[in-house]
Structure 1
Amino acid sequence: MKKFNLLLIFIILLSLGSCRSDSETPAEITIDNTIKVGKISGKVTSQNGTKPIGGASIFTFDEKYKIYYTTSDADGNFILEAPAGNQTIHIQTGDGSNFRTQVAATVKNNETVSLNTDQTKLNQVAKIAYVKGTYDKIEDIIQTLGYNATEITNADLANINTIAQYDIIFLNCGSRNYNVNQSLYPAIDANLAIFVANGGSIYASDWDVSYLVGGTDNTNNCSLTGGFVPDTKLCSKNTGTPGIVPATVNNAGLSTALGFNTVNIDFDLSSWQKIVNYDPAYWEVLVKETSSNNALMIRTNHFTATGIPATPIGNAPNSTFTTVCITLPGNIQISISVPTITVPYLVALGATVGPCSGSTNSGYIYYTSFHNHATGNIGNAGVILQYVILNL
């Protein structure tokens, strides 16, 4: 009886299966793993909208913290591929610690959304100071970009509590010996070492190499008394003669940001500092003489010294951003600033905390043998100095 019942059930099931039409066959379940992406376009400009900013980093992250990254061209234009949805677009120069903007944007699948110029202006995060000089007015370039800088004095440089308020200090040519009591030099040199070792950045031009290597005004010898950069790392002598010096931009990123790789630099004063010796492992050459390969513009973030006290500098203690190094496809490394809350997730994907190169806590030191003359025409060397301002 059981066999008959089982046979009957089997026949019924078989008949039901044979009566099902093709249209009744269960549909296959398909999972769409395609990431939906769109594009964001825009033009990066300075705060007042007058200067297009080349070489700016533009990036965002998807929900798994994968980075989408591009840079602006020499005219400030960019197109960023980004995951569809509501995104925060980051716009930065340098490592993003001093100049950065965040833009909320909705990315549409397979569409390009354009940001307006009010959204893509590069904001000043840094507190900037400058020391008045005899032959330079870098503050004029800062102001033409729409940014703010506070004038300080050499007496202020001798007070660490004063300069620790700032992120960037510009040292105009001639300021080392501009209404200054020379007894302040040891304190100034010690404070600049503390400032840079704890993440502050400085720019010095021409005769103000004396802040770095010693001396009171211009330098005519190596290994002078004073300064804070080791004598083995740099020597500059006041042996340059006036005239036009053809120069080559030696850094690919700088050349791309500027849109050119050659420049005629007008040394229109009676003399100028020539870099006669530098440590190539310590300094990066950004601009050099075309004929001789002599360095004209150098930078480093390798400064270290023993016995330097840990001192909070500028906005860093209050910042909710952290500098990280991320490796892009092609083994390209970039230093950017990201919201601190994202750091653990990015580290889990291979990012490291801190810049991609240089000493962990060091700020930048930029030095140029040319500068922004208080009077006179500096030609397209001016846009190089704009790059310096935005990338410190």
Structure 2
Amino acid sequence: MRKHYLILLLWVFTLLINCTGEVTSPSDHEGPEIIKTGKLTGKVMSQNGTKPIGGASVFTFDDQYKIYYTTSDADGNFSLEAPTGNHTIYIQTGNGSNFRTEISANVKENENLNLDVSQTKLNQVAKIAYVKGSYDKIEDIIQTLGYAATEITTNDLANLTTIAQYDIIFLNCGSRINYSNTALYAAIDTNLATFVANGGSIYASDWDVAYLVGGTNNTNNCSLAGGFVPDSKLCSKNTGNSGMVAATVNSAGLSTALGFSTLGIDYDLGSWQKIVNYDPAYWEVLVKETATNDALMIRTNHFTATGIPNTTIGNAPNTTFTTVCISLPGNIQISISVPQALVPYLVALGATVGPCSGSSNSGYIYYTTFHNHASGNIGNAGVILQYVILNL
């Protein structure tokens, strides 16, 4: 009996030896684990449920922290393959720091779970402010989407404590008044630099490029005094003529979110700011004039400056989310916000903390030569401005 037992042990040991003489375990011969999945479908809507949101990120993670990711189409619709079981589904625009929603869902194998629109409304996390303008009312579009914004004044921009309460500030065309008070605008320049360098985002339209690069109520030359964006990065002159301009959407992500790649922009006011020079390594062109390739809408998150104090901006003290960069198959990188508890596990799989491009601390600066002026129908330009609001 003992002899048979020893023979059996020898036989088992032999099976566990591979051809190189190394000991293996039965699990070494198993194939990759097959993840069971189901499908989630739905429609991303604005907070008030009236507007579909295109280009929103929709994603979740499995138990090994692998990401399952898709985006909503121009009509807000999405279809996400997701691992089975109870999971948190994340819906975000931009990098998720300002607008996001979380949903609990029980995914079943080979079944489709359609999420109700009451679940997929995109929530506002950011605190938003705007400065009233003479020719532009971005606050109307913000409110049309069901989001809230607080009016502040030009004088408020000179008070860092006031603007540091907000995550996003919208500067409407024609808001730059009382420029003769040079001390006021010097303080504004310093505060806006501090705001953006610490993660706050700014949108400026048309004449209000002067907040960025200097000038009075508009700019008529390059290298003007004032502003906080280096003159080498941007020059805009008030030389645009009224009329329809054929435009092309220059960003694949923006085009997918909008559902179109060409449009006509009606510049029906007397004059508007033309972008005559910009640094392409600093700015991303989102919309350009078709005939001339002149930039009409640009953005950057590359702002840096020396001597900027560390200042807490907006919701930063209250958030439990962190922005990370994750690589998808096809060498595609996405910036998303995730709960801080997930960060170490995602980093272990190759994610990096911070956005995929730009300065790790910089907020976004969006500049559009067009806006939602009160004197005419802005058509598809209005949908672009909705995108701007949700992606700051």
Structure 1 length-normalised TM: 0.92
* % same residue: 79
Question: Does structure 2 retain, via aligned residues, the 8 Å contact 1:41–1:114?
Answer: yes
Give the structure 1 partner of residue 241 of structure 2: 241
The answer on 1:93 being equivalent to 2:93 is: yes
Alignment of 1:29-108 (within 5 A): 33-108=33-108
Structure 2 counterparts to residues 179-198 of structure 1, below 5 A = 181-198=181-198
Q: What is the Cα deviation at residue 266 of structure 1? A: 0.3
1:127-182 superposed Cα distances (whole Å, 9 cap, x missing partner)? 00000000000000000000000000011100000000000000000001269844
Tell me if the contact between 2:179 and 2:216 (Cα under 8 Å) persists in the aligned partners: no
- In 1, are the aligned partners of 2:179 and 2:217 still within 8 Å (CA)? no
Closer/same/farther in 2, CA of residues 269 and 178 from structure 1, 3 Å limit:
farther
Deviation digits for residues 295-317 of structure 1 (CA, Å, limit 9, x no counterpart): 00000000000000000000112
Residue 176 of structure 2 aligns to a residue whose secondary structure is: helix
> Distance between the aligned counterparts of 2:161 and 2:241, measured in 1?
39
Q: C-alpha separation between the residues in 2 aligned to 1:6 and 1:297?
A: 85
Q: Deviations over 1:271-320 (max 9, x none)?
A: 00000000000000000000000000000000000000000000112210
Q: CA deviation at 1:31?
A: 7.6
Map Cα deviations across residues 330-368 of structure 1 (whole Å, 9 max, x no partner): 110000000001000000000000000001100000000
- In the other structure, the counterpart of 1:284 is 284
Q: What residue is the counterpart of 2:319 in the other structure?
A: 319
State the one-letter code of the partner of 1:241: N
| Aligned residue identity for 2:246 | P
1:100 and 1:124 in contact (8 A); partners too: yes
Equivalent residues in 2 for 1:198-277, closer than 5 Å: 198-277=198-277
Change (3 A) 1:363 1:77: same
Q: Equivalents in 1 of 2:121, 2:180: separation in Å?
A: 38
Task: Give the secondary structure class of the aligned counterpart of 1:117.
Answer: coil
Change in 2 beyond 3 A, CA 1:48/1:179: farther
Residues in 2 aligned to 1:244 and 1:216: alpha-carbon distance in whole angstroms: 27
Please identify the structure whose Cα radius of gyration is greater: 1
Q: Classify the secondary structure of the residue corresponding to 1:192.
A: helix
1:43-76 Cα deviation digits (max 9, x unpaired): 0010001110000000000011000000000000
Corresponding residue SS for 1:270: strand
Give yes or no for the alignment of 1:155 onto 2:155: yes
1:72 and 1:6 map into 2 onto residues whose CA distance is 68
| Structure 1 residues 244 and 6, CA gap change in structure 2 (3 angstroms) | closer
TM-score, scaled relative to structure 2: 0.92
1:16 alignment partner in structure 2: none
SS at match of 1:177: coil
- Structure 1, unmatched stretches of 5+, are 11-27
Gap change, CA 1:209 and 1:181, over 3 Å in 2: same
One-letter amino acid of the counterpart of residue 183, structure 2: S
Q: What per-residue deviation string (whole Å, max 9, x for no partner) do you get for residues 6-53 of structure 1?
A: 99x99xxxxxxxxxxxxxxxxx99989321100000000100011100
Separation in 1, partners of 2:139, 2:118:
24
What residue is the counterpart of 1:303 in the other structure?
Answer: 303
User: Structure 2 CA distance, aligned partners of 1:180 and 1:386?
Assistant: 34
